[in-house]
Amino acid sequence: MFTGLIEATGKVLAVTPTPGATRITVAAPTLAPRLNTGDSIAVSGVCLTALSITDTEFSADLAAETIARTTLSNLTPGSTVNLELPTPAGSPLGGHVVQGHVDGTATLLSLTPITPDAPTTDWRLTLQLPPQLVQYVVPQGSITVEGISLTVASIVGHEVQIAIIPHTYLATSLRTYAPGTPLNIEVDVLSKYAERARPAHYELTESYLLANGY
């Protein structure tokens, strides 16, 4: 599991199609020395398996499902990616529970400074969610954007607004994206379980009422 607290950003060195998969190679000098072959690492919110590790970089294979569901197929050499290693058991959960299982992509509508003339400012991120994810997003709830644990400020229709503090803006890939860019989204897994449990609860209640003559 991850928490959505980005440990470092990396630079994509290569994107290489291979039979059955696409391999990406990422420069990550601060994290690569901590990796062993087969370890998990979140790359812009996608849980991948580290391969071909050196002191400064690692590679990972993208399955067809990963390419279809995430933004990683859009990576090119020079792209900035957010990186996080799994959280050891017993460690503080600084963000929220993040699985690295992307649910879909949202479209970046804008990222605007709240106080443009200030030397340091927070930012307002506005996204357009795909319709199938709207039901899992609530104000002040958690959402993962490109691997970053964030808090929803408001949601109106399919548009979500999120407050971005200066540290997050400077320490992640958010500042590199232009309007119209697709971004990886993972909704709070607890909301998905709650949604899955609701029909079963209603069916049980209806069955109970019918069986008891109500």
Top-confidence residue, 154 or 19: 154
pLDDT score of 209 more than 70? no
Across the chain, mean pLDDT equals: 90
Identify which of 21, 11, 55, 22 has the alpha carbon closest to the alpha carbon of residue 36: 55
The pLDDT of residue 214 is 46
Give residue for tokens 């990396």: 10
Domains and CATH numbers, the chain: 8-84 (2.40.30.20), 104-194 (2.40.30.20)
Lowest-pLDDT range of 47-61, 106-120, 139-153, 188-202: 188-202
Mean pLDDT along residues 112-136 = 95
- CA 29 to chain centroid: 22
Backbone torsions φ then ψ of 192, nearest 5 degrees: -70, -40
The pLDDT of residue 126 is 98
Give residue for tokens 């460690």: 91
pLDDT score of 122 more than 70? yes
Type of residue at 80: T
Q: Where are the beta strands (DSSP E) in the chain?
A: 8-18, 21-27, 40-43, 46-49, 57-62, 80-84, 104-113, 123-128, 142-145, 148-156, 159-164, 182-187
Sheet holding 80-84, edge to edge: 46-49, 40-43, 80-84, 8-18, 21-27, 57-62
The pLDDT of residue 196 is 72
Top-confidence residue, 195 or 80: 80
pTM of the model: 0.87
Q: For the segment 24-42, what is each residue's pLDDT rounded down to a tens digit?
A: 999 999 999 999 999 999 9
